[in-house]
Structure 1
Amino acid sequence: MTMRTRITELLGIEFPIVQGGMQWVGRAEMAAAVSNAGGLGMLTGLTQPTPEDLRREIQRTRDITTKPFGVNLTILPSVNPPPYAEYVEAIIDSGVKVVETAGNSPKEFIARFKAHDVKILHKCTSLRHALSAQRNGVDVVSIDGFECAGHPGEDDVGGLVLIPLAASALEIPVIASGGIADGRGLAAALVLGAEGVNMGTRFCATVEAPIHQAVKEALLGASERETNLIFRTLHNTGRVLKTPVSNEVVSLERREGGCEFKDIQHLVSGQKGRLALETGDLNAGLVWAGQVVGLINDIPTCAELLKRIITECRGQLALANRFFTN
């Protein structure tokens, strides 16, 4: 059983399910497992310390899948930014045909990608940014609702509103992101006008995810109420798993007089987050996760997960159709 939407046709995949490009998680094992299961696996470009390391990781992925996969390139403001142009060249030179961009606009790199027939998925958290991305020439918008892990923006609009808004306003296809973990979520996204879904947190709780089993068990055991919104007072909201570390960040932000980034930097560094994922020590750093943790009930293989999602989606759409009478 396969599905056919503009997303599956554009990306050359069986099922319209894309793995989110998650820092420290989007490695060859993860991307290949999702692609082999019929979705689109995603390497995280900046997980690799240099463009040359990314080239090697792309080759390593090709050693374990012949299916299409993409590379995420998150573009963020920084005093000492990574050599983004060199990462772009590594993606192009390696023959990767799908890139997921996030953060700032990928405008300066779009022509370069287009010249090499690379399809561009751009993640947005608002309709205005989605429209801007379409004008700039991206091929797909992945729209992130407030439920999502990572940075949901500052508008606090949930997917139930944001997905149909984007689907109605855009001519290019829309991927729904945030709060999706099962076939009901895929069915709902399709009904709302999306032509595919993006899942991040759900793929972290799979056998192949390259993170410590204790972290997977923490995701499995968490309820929908066990995430924290951090960086709210810094106007750079992020959603993470509720842990002693993220609780402390929230506490510092809420103290009288607030806080500056330097006051919490020792808690939130990317390297400490990596340490938490690799060692399973939830006191070591942040674990990024969405409210979808409340829907995670097991730790399957990616193949088992995608097969279940597609079967359940078809069943839910058929069930909904039975509510109509002639």
Structure 2
Amino acid sequence: MPIQTKLTKLLNIKHPIIQGGMQWVGTAEMASAVSNAGGLGILTALTQPTPEALRAEINRCRKMTKNPFGVNLTILPSITPPPYAKYVSVIIEEGIKVVETAGNNPGEHVKRFKEAGIIVIHKCTAIRHAKSAQKMGVDLVSIDGFECAGHPGEDDITGLILLAKSAKALSIPYVASGGFGDGRGLAAALVLGAEGVNMGTRFMCTEEAPIHRSVKEAIVNATEKDTALMFRTLHNTARVFKNKVSLEVVKIEKKPGGASFDDIKDLVSGQRGKKVFENGDIDYGVWTAGQVCGIIDDIPSCKTLLERMVKDCETVLKEKHSLIVEDSPSAKL
């Protein structure tokens, strides 16, 4: 039996599960597989080297699924930033209905998306950021806890607190992100007030994920302790898989006097991370993974994963409903 929430109704999807934007992973193969399985697949705009390459990827994805899918656009500070406005133009011109935004100061882009009638989901790691996004006019926020892969912010607040507080602080719907990978987690997110979950690392460990099998097996064999936090001293914390390179970066950062980005830039090159996914050498570069590694123990198809999550979620919710009992006259004696 499907689980229907504000998220499924708004996005016209079967299951309240979103595949978040992932650099080098959010391709047409990944997004279409999730959408075909009943969730919302997401293409990662900046995985494509140019706006026109994104246009081609959108059209390729349309040939692979007839179901809704979206595009992620992450805005990050950079000396030579990508042409964000041109990526936005392509997204609008191609008639994309859902966009996931993340990163700093998305206001001007959100305005363009909303003027085009696009549903905007903005990823936030703090309640204050979620409130700002709400004022900006986004339709939903994705609340990203400290457990997440990638950039968890600098407050170190777990999803348990952020989600519960979101129920009090926000007037727009929200989804839960960071640490989710099974039906029990989906049930917990719904009980905490979320309308669904957003998953990254869990989708990396599926048959359709366009990354080397060795990377998927590394995640399966990992525990919740097998991630590392880089860039702490640079105030741009990133949670990545714990390997030789990420541990070396952390070691350099801990040297007396700290480290500058120039001291580690060659180690954290995005191209090295891309090669990990292509060649399967998990120690070649840094690559993102969340603490959810600790509950991932197989590599299913996206269809199997989503159906299992929803079924397990239903089971958990029904079991816990039995804890509620009516007061009886005899119980009061």
Q: Please, what TM-score do these two structures have when normalized by structure 2?
A: 0.97
Match of 2:100 in 1: 100
Identity within the alignment, %:
62
Q: 1:179 is matched by which residue type in structure 2? A: G
CA contact (8 A) 1:168 1:193 kept: no
Q: Deviations over 1:94-123 (max 9, x none)?
A: 111000000013210222212221100000
2:240 partner SS: strand
Match of 1:146 in 2: 146
1:211 partner SS: coil
* 1:123 lines up with 2:127 in the alignment: no
Match of 1:45 in 2: 45
Match of 2:275 in 1: 275
Match of 2:234 in 1: 234
2:9 partner SS: helix
CA contact (8 A) 1:153 1:236 kept: yes
Q: Deviations over 1:287-326 (max 9, x none)?
A: 2000000000100000000000000000000111112222
Deviation at 1:166, TM superposition (A): 1.3
* 1:12 lines up with 2:18 in the alignment: no
Question: 5 Å matches for 1:263-302?
Answer: 263-302=263-302
Partners of 2:52 and 2:311 in 1: CA distance:
40
Equivalent pairs, count: 326
Partners of 2:255 and 2:221 in 1: CA distance:
29
Runs (5+) with no aligned partner, structure 1? none
Runs (5+) with no aligned partner, structure 2? 327-333
Partners of 1:167 and 1:176 in 2: CA distance:
11
Partners of 1:163 and 1:136 in 2: CA distance:
20
Q: 2:46 is matched by which residue type in structure 1? A: L
CA contact (8 A) 1:245 1:282 kept: no
Deviation at 1:182, TM superposition (A): 0.2
Match of 2:174 in 1: 174
* 1:304 lines up with 2:304 in the alignment: yes
Question: 5 Å matches for 1:205-244?
Answer: 205-244=205-244
Deviation at 1:185, TM superposition (A): 0.4
Deviation at 1:257, TM superposition (A): 1.9
Structure 1 segments of 4+ aligned residues over 6 angstroms from their partners:
none
Q: Deviations over 1:254-287 (max 9, x none)?
A: 1222211111111101111101111111221112
Match of 1:196 in 2: 196
Q: 1:128 is matched by which residue type in structure 2? A: R
Q: Please, what TM-score do these two structures have when normalized by structure 1?
A: 0.99
2:245 partner SS: helix
RMSD: 0.7
Partners of 1:323 and 1:257 in 2: CA distance:
55
Deviation at 1:127, TM superposition (A): 0.2
Partners of 2:322 and 2:3 in 1: CA distance:
21
CA contact (8 A) 1:71 1:96 kept: yes
Q: 2:202 is matched by which residue type in structure 1? A: R
